Amino acid sequence: MAPPPLLLLRLLLVAAAASSRMATIRCHGYQYNASQGPLVTAVIAFGDSIVDPGNNNDLHTQIKANHPPYGKDFFNHEATGRYSNGLIPTDLIAQGLGVKQLLPGYLGVDLSPEDLLTGVSFASGATGFDPLTPVVVSVISLEQQLAYFDEYRAKLVAIAGEEETDKIIRGALFVVCAGTDDVANTYFTTPFRRVVYDIPSYVELLVSGAEAFLRNVSARGATRIGFVGMPPVGCVPSQRTLGGGLRRECEPRRNEAAQLYNARIQGMIAGLNAEQGFGTLVVYLDIYRILDELMERGDRYGFTETTKGCCGTGTIEVTGLCDSRFVSVCDDVSQHVFFDSYHPTERAYRIIVDDIFDNYIQVLV
C-alpha cells in the first residue's frame, strides 16, 4: 500500500532537508558526502542508561535523570532524562550519520511522523541481559523493549506502509548497549546472584541473554547491529567507592568480569556472523580500551579529574542522589570524564563516539 499523499510530501521534505546540507562533512574522523543524504535510514537503540534519552521518566523507579543538574549543558539546560550534562552517544551517532540531531525516547514524548521514520531509542536506564536486573530497580526489561519495537513498527506501517517500513528497518543502524548494570549492580551490589553464580557462570548467563536478544532483533528485520561492549566497570567512580578501598582504586574483580564478558561476547558474535541463514551483520564496538585510556591518561585529552564525577562529591552520587536541590556541581564539567558517579560527560562521550566512528562505522554503513 502506498503512503497517503500528505505522508509522501512529508517524506520528501525530510529527504530534501537532509540532502540540502553541506556537500562534504568530516564528522568524528569519518568523511562522507552529506548531499547524498543520511548514511542510514534510521537509528534504533535498545539498552540501558548510556543510550536512554528519557524512557524512565514516567516509571515508578528511582533510576531517573529528569532533574537538574542533568542536562545542564543540554539545549535550554533541559533535564530530558539523559544521564549526562548534555548529549548521549546515540544523539552523537545519529548526528554523525546525518540522520538527525537528537535520537528521542519512545516513551513519554510526542513523536512526530518524522521522529518515528528516522528512529527512536527504547533503552531504559539500569536494565540488563540478566532478567533479574530490571526487576530489582523497576525499569523496562529488554523483552519489553522488543515489545515496544513491535508497537513502533506498527506505527511505521500506519505512516508509510508496509513496503516503506521494511526499507526503513532494513536500512537502519540498530545499537544495543547493555550488560554493565548486570555486573555493577545485580552481581556485585546485591546478594541475589553471587550465592548461585561465580563470575564465569554469571558471564555465561549474560552472554546467553545477549545472544537471544540479538537473534530476536535480527528476526525483526535488522540487517546491521552495533553491539557495545562493557567498559572497565571497576574503574567507574561509584565502583571505586564501593569496592576500591580507602584509596578508591580500580576494583579488579569487576574489571576481570568485564574483560571476560567482552571476550565471550566477541566469540558469540563471531559465531552468529558465521552462521548460515543469520541475515544480520553484528559488529562488536569496543569501548573498554578508549574509556580505560580516558581514565588512565585523561590529561592527554584535557581532563584533570578521572576518578570522580562532577556531581556532589563525585564518589557515589547518581540518579536520585545527583539532584541540584541537595548537591552542587563542579565549576568546569569539561575537566571531568564523568558527570555523576556512573555516567560520562558529553565531552567524554564525544571522544568515545569519535573512536567508534574511526574504528567501526565504515563496517556498519
Q: Which residues are catalytic?
A: 49, 340, 343
Contact predicate 271/264, CB 8 Å = no
d(CA 27, CA 20): 17
Closest CA to 162 of 153, 171, 174: 153
Q: How many beta carbons lie within 10 A of that of residue 66, not counting itself?
A: 17
Q: Calculate the alpha carbon distances from 201 to 194, 195, 256 in Å.
A: 10, 12, 13
Contact predicate 233/261, CB 8 Å = no
Q: Calculate the alpha carbon distances from 91 to 4, 14, 50, 120 in Å.
A: 30, 18, 11, 10
92 DSSP β-pair partners: none
SS3 of 329, please? strand
Amino acid of residue 263: A
**Which H, E and C letters describe 204-260, residue by residue?**
HHHHHHHHHHHHHHHHCCCCEEEEECCCCHHHCHHHHHHHCCCCCCCCHHHHHHHHH
Please confirm whether the linkage preceding 131 is cis (ω < 30° from 0). Answer: no
SS3 of 98, please? coil
d(CA 319, CA 52): 13
Query: Which single residue is written with the C-alpha cell 550488560?
Result: 179
Q: Calculate the alpha carbon distances from 102 to 91, 124, 240 in Å.
A: 5, 17, 32
